[in-house]
Amino acid sequence: MTKEAAEKKKYAENTVSEDFDKLTLKAIDEALSALGEQSKTAIYFYLNGKYHVKKREIPQRIEDFSKALEDVLKTGAVPLEILCMDNLFAQVKKACGWSICEWTAPKLTFNQYVQFMRQQYKEGKNETE
């Protein structure tokens, strides 16, 4: 592989990763909106204050985001994480042009699911190129 080809490949991989991060943020933001704007803002504030995670960093720090949700919402974090996963699936499905109606990923934690969907997104984007 030439240096130029390697640089193009790296650029494409970075673009796909950035695109997935945007989809992840959108999915999480939509899920948090279900709690109301004040609650959503408070969670982002708490995440930044206690965990030093800015909103834009969430896709790369899903585990910290999940811990913050558990700190704030206790057992209520699980349904919110499931909503995030549902929203993320819808975002990736649309972006990749998938025709499947439902994606089942049993026994995955929120962090594992996001990593799994990141890989599926990369593979889906590579197939459409």
pLDDT of residue 11: 59
User: Which two structure tokens, joined as six digits, stand for 63?
Assistant: 């585990």
How far is it, in rounded angstroms, from Cα 82 to Cα 31? 9
Divide the 129 residues of the chain into consecutive groups of 10 and give the mean pLDDT of each group.
Answer: 67 80 97 96 94 95 95 94 93 83 69 89 76
pTM for the predicted model, two decimal places: 0.82
How far is it, in rounded angstroms, from Cα 88 to Cα 93? 8
Nearest 5°: phi and psi at 111? -60, -45
CA angle 43, 46, 48 (to 5 degrees): 110
How far is it, in rounded angstroms, from Cα 12 to Cα 93? 20
CA 29 to chain centre: 10
pLDDT of residue 96: 85
pLDDT of residue 102: 62
pLDDT of residue 71: 93
- Give me the domains of the chain, ranges plus CATH numbers: 3-128 (1.10.1200.200)
CA 58 to chain centre: 8
How far is it, in rounded angstroms, from Cα 100 to Cα 32? 25
Q: Is 36 helix (H, G, I), strand (E, B) or coil?
A: coil
pLDDT of residue 77: 95
pLDDT of residue 93: 87
